[in-house]
Amino acid sequence: MSGFLRPEARALLWRWRELLVGIGLVLIGVWLVLGPGFLLAVPGYALLLGGSILTWMGIQRGRFRGTDGGAGAVKVVEGQVTYFGPWTGGTVALRELDRLSLDRALFPAHWRLEQLGQPALLIPVNAEGSDALFDAFAALPGLKTERMLQEMQGDPHQAVVIWQKPARAPVGVTLH
């Protein structure tokens, strides 16, 4: 069965897997609502709702995923991003992250994760396992996912800040 699809076609289907499953759920939901009878319409509406949500999420995740095969591997465990690269590597805790940038001046483009007092962690966008970064970045407070996805398609020779930790007032300082 592994020889049924070319590797490029298999990679394309795998990239958009949530979208394809969501469309399938929507189609089954439409069939249940319009087809057999009133009793099956209730689960049909549930499938329509779930399939629509999964389709929307699949579009976002598919746009975020690139082709694999880049240098190194990414692992995200309990809010900690670890990059194992051939020349560099490191770990950043998401709760201590100060700035997230996309540096498109490098080839391929790299995510730049900056933490106060630590050297910046550079992760190629096509590193193995980099699709796990979508959920990790989405957990950052105030991150605009649509803006991040648009910036991934932007000017290829420019670095852009995607997210920055909001400035806090100094502790112990009062106005009066």
pLDDT tens-place values along the chain, 176 residues long: 467 888 888 888 888 999 999 999 999 999 999 987 788 899 999 999 999 999 999 999 888 887 667 789 999 999 899 999 988 899 999 999 999 999 988 888 899 999 988 899 999 998 998 889 999 999 999 999 898 988 888 777 888 999 999 876 566 666 65
Q: What is the pTM of this model?
A: 0.74
Domain ranges in the chain are 7-64, 73-164
Name the token pair of 121: 């962690």
* Contact of 120 with 114, CB cutoff 8 Å: yes
- ∠ CA(139), CA(144), CA(146), 5° rounding? 115
Euclidean distance between CA atoms 117 and 17, whole angstroms: 39
